[in-house]
Structure 1
Amino acid sequence: MCRFRIYPSPAQEAALLEQCRHARHIWNLALEQWSMWTRDQGPTPGYVEQARQLTEARAVFGWLRAGSQMVQQQALRDFEQAVKNFYAGSHRRPTWRKAGVHEGFRIAGSQASRIRKLSRKWAAALVPKVGWVRFRLSRAVPDAKSYRMTRDRQGRWHIAFAAIPEPIPAPGTGEIVGIDRGVTVSAALSTGELLTCPKLSERERQRLKQLQRRLARCRRGSNRRQRVKAAMAKLHARAANRRKDWVEKTSTDLARRFDAIRVEDLDIVSMTSRPKAKPDPTRPGAYLPNRRGAKSGLNRGILTNGWGDLVHRLEQKARGRVEKVNPAYTSQTCSVCGHCAPGNRESQAVFWCVACGHRAHADVNAAVNIAAGRAVSARRETPAWVSPKREPQHATSA
């Protein structure tokens, strides 16, 4: 997607929000029909039947007829694609769309090409039932057959054109890089580089904590609560923008510098899942401590470092050049002699091999193992690149 920031007038913003309400209403109706399916009934209506029902509903309800038929039909198209993705196993089950969270709609067909350039920095798109809406030209507008208008929780509007760019060509140098992802260091490269994803500053974190305390004292539904939530959304949006910018720049740099990129094959969804409750066998109805607070902090650290976003963008930009390596014991294996032992990991940042005395940054050592495609079995057997006749040496002999 090629996204631009749009600046609607107050009247245009009200019309855009009305279109978002229509698209959200149609989506939720389609989801309700799909969710009511049972084994003793026939199949649920598809897109063609739902489009016919939409035409009948527009003839009866004036508030629905006042909206754009293109927006409402594309909401049905989006839901149909979401159901197909769910049955294909590539996406999760479609969920309900909520006001203030899912604000957006899609325009497709000939109406998506109604774009005109106003000046060197500004252009305008003709949105049905809204008019010409200006957006900032931060790059050239691609030739797309559809675009999507969205509004984030901070209140900013964007227009995103559905245009897939060409992947970045390989440099042809034959260089291979390994990437070890962590919480303290976002990405450690086998070349020795340590990359850190920018986060909120200490002052911004203190401000967010104050807003969270203030939100707890606000009455639900009050205007004061809405203002506090808007201020919190502004800080969260700032952190997300910094993370996305770092992911884009880092992935582009890696795709241009290396022919092959090897990363750990991590299941981030399972790693960031909530810990299960532990029932207390001695007290019915009571539960044992499961360190939920510590796990939530770890989950927050994983998500704020953009682990999944970095690999996802690398797979798109360096298509066919990203390899996933089994991460088993890569942080405990020496990249020089191949000796694998828990004692090699002296601390979170220091790796000191107890066999050969090799000392390095722990994340860089793991990245070197990933770049070589090394992984050990569950029995922690010594890899094949180490001579079986080699005797372990003390670390002090280095």
Structure 2
Amino acid sequence: MTAIAQESEGDGHARYTYRLRVSSGARTALEAEWSRCRWLWNECCARSKKAHRDGEKCGPARLDRMLTQARTAMVWLREGSSVPQQQLIRDFAKSRAKALKDIKARLPMRQRASMPRYKKKHQDAPSLNYTRRGFRLKSGRLHLAGGIAVTVVWSRDLPEPPSSVRVYREGTGAWYASFVVPAVTGALPVTGAVIGIDWGVRETATTTSDGHDLPHPQHGKNAAQRLAHYQRMMSSTNAAFVAPIAASAALRAMVDFARNLGWPASTAGPCIWYTPRTPRWTVRSAEREPSTHYLFPKGRIPAPRAES
């Protein structure tokens, strides 16, 4: 199923998200590309902490020089495309600048943006950003820098050629491509109608027109009613009501086992009780001694008594 989303991306831009069909080879290449970018992000975090201790600056220019030196020294890093790596440095610098700005403005802790943190292999999902020179669309497929080609599930056409794309993976394992395109804006026709909207007490939104009121969904009240219903079902006073809910095959097996213990076939049958507080069944006989009962804990069923 194709997931489509359109979000505002600043002034004059919007995001269009499409599902991707990724082959095994493309998935391996994307994960390898993300491994390089994740290593680079963690190196930026370490360099940022070192610059803070030494009282130095750690801007995008210094991080770009670090990337150039790392790609020169490491063949593994040069095997990947430089486009997502450079975009990752831009994202890191923007996140760090926002955190420092909030600290300088003395904002409360709950309102501050946190400093960039290390990305872990098994916790952070892959996310790769490509600018216009790092991808192209050809024959309905998305070709990324580094020789990676994936199939896009086009649920609708893009209004304009995209300027960038973000390829990411969700927790379910599905891959998506989010394109940034110029937003086509237009003024709505003037109708002359006026309506007022306010936050209501009994309704989620109340308006000056009764036909446009948004009623409250009552999620909390409905959940409380369901919880009380299930609590009454599991209460000890309604054990006779809970017993029939069990599987009929298990009940028949216990009746047959109780008859094998010596009850004659003419009897009305044993009474089977279920105790909610303890995970075991109790079988009692109305014709034998009232104090005689047999317990069947899980995994410990006694052997039936042989007929005399």
TM-score bucket (shorter structure): 0.5 to 0.7
Shift of 1:164: 4.2
Provide the rounded CA distance (Å) in 2 between the counterparts of 1:189 and 1:19.
Answer: 52
Partners of 1:98 and 1:176 in 2: CA distance: 52
| Structure having the larger proportion of residues in strand | 2
Q: 1:173 to 1:13 in 2, by over 3 A?
A: same
Q: Aligned equivalents of 1:185 and 1:104: distance in 2?
A: 40
In structure 2, what residue type is equivalent to 1:139? R
2:70 aligned with 1:57: yes
2:144 to 100, 106, 127: 127
Please name the residue that 2:94 is paired with: 81
Q: In the alignment, what sits opposite 1:19?
A: 33
TM-score (norm 1): 0.43
- Residue in 2 aligned with 1:93? 114
Classify 1:131/1:37 alpha carbon distance in 2 versus 1 (closer, same or farther; 3 Å): closer
Contact 2:92 2:116 in 1 (8 A): no
1:28 counterpart = 2:36: no
Assess if the C-alpha contact under 8 Å between 2:21 and 2:152 holds in 1: yes
Q: What one-letter code is carried by the residue in structure 2 that aligns with 1:115?
A: L
Q: Which amino acid aligns with 2:116?
A: T
2:35 & 2:62 partners in 1: Cα distance? 22
State the Cα distance separating 1:125 from its structure 2 match: 0.9
Tell me the equivalent position of 1:138: 155
Query: Percent of pairs identical after alignment?
Result: 25
Instruction: State the distance in 2 between where 1:183 and 1:21 align.
Output: 51
Over 3 Å counting, the alpha-carbon distance change for 1:65 and 1:136 in structure 2 is same
AA paired with 1:106? N
**1:182–1:11 Cα change, 3 Å:** farther
C-alpha displacement of 1:71? 1.4
How is 1:211-230 mapped onto 2 (pairs within 5 angstroms)? none
| 5+ long unaligned stretches in structure 2 | 1-14, 103-110, 228-308
> What does residue 16 of structure 2 align with?
2
Q: Does 1:111 align with 2:134?
A: yes
**1:101, 1:153 within 8 Å by CA — same for their partners in 2?**
no
1:101·1:152 contact (CA, 8 Å) conserved in 2? Answer: no
Letter aligned with residue 92 of structure 1 = A
Count the aligned residue pairs: 196
Under a length normalisation based on structure 2, what TM-score does the superposition of the two structures give? 0.54
SS of 1:3's partner is strand
Change (3 A) 1:191 1:155: farther
Residues 1:194 and 2:214 aligned together: yes
Residues 137 and 40 of structure 1, relative CA distance in 2, 3 Å threshold? closer
Q: Give the drift of 1:188.
A: 4.5
Classify 1:170/1:58 alpha carbon distance in 2 versus 1 (closer, same or farther; 3 Å): same
Structure 2 residue identity aligned to 1:134: T
1:273 paired residue number: none
Verify the 8 A CA contact 1:179 1:189 in the aligned structure 2.
yes
Q: 1:131 to 1:38 in 2, by over 3 A?
A: closer
Report if the CA contact (8 A) 2:19-2:176 is conserved. yes
Task: Name the CA shift for 1:195/1:174 in 2 (closer, same or farther; >3 Å).
Answer: farther
Post-superposition CA distance 1:257-278 (Å, at most 9, x none) = xxxxxxxxxxxxxxxxxxxxxx
Name the larger-Rg structure: 2
For the aligned residues, what is the CA RMSD?
Answer: 3.4
Q: Which amino acid aligns with 1:30?
A: C
